[in-house]
Amino acid sequence: MSIFLVSCEGLRTAAFDQYSYQKATEIKVEAANLLDSAVYPYAEHEQKVEKLREDLQKIIEYEKNKSYNDISLAMWQILSDEEKNLLAGLLKRWENQQQLSPAFVQESKAQVMEAINLIIKYEAAKDKASKAQLQKLINTY
């Protein structure tokens, strides 16, 4: 019986959470709009960048306290890590360079949007296929 319980624990996934889904979609829209502005001077958008960083911190704190939520939490942590090449890393690069090239922004934005789309898909479905896609992306970072 204990072997069965332990094996079931590894398969558990957090239930659908409307707040997590809603915040993920809000962050996606906010990030998409802000990243389009990365071709302009950082100083003109600094307050919006700080708000997005704060929103990332908030979703991480929220996700930390949900049971069976390791995969969503891990993805948000990667997105918010300034040393990674996703959202927070891109924002840090923009801050350091003050302005980014359109080609770089377009390519980087596509990667960020793909990652956030995977979170949204997982939050909506909570199925094995979306979990596997998210896990694959996490494993590349």
- Run means of pLDDT, 10 residues per run, the chain, 141 residues: 44 73 97 98 98 97 90 95 96 98 97 96 92 94 89
DSSP tag of 18: H
Report pLDDT for 14.
Answer: 64
Q: Model-level pTM?
A: 0.86
- DSSP structure string for 123-136: HHH--HHHHHHHHH
Backbone phi and psi for residue 88, each to the nearest 5 degrees, phi listed first: -65, -35
Report pLDDT for 68.
Answer: 84
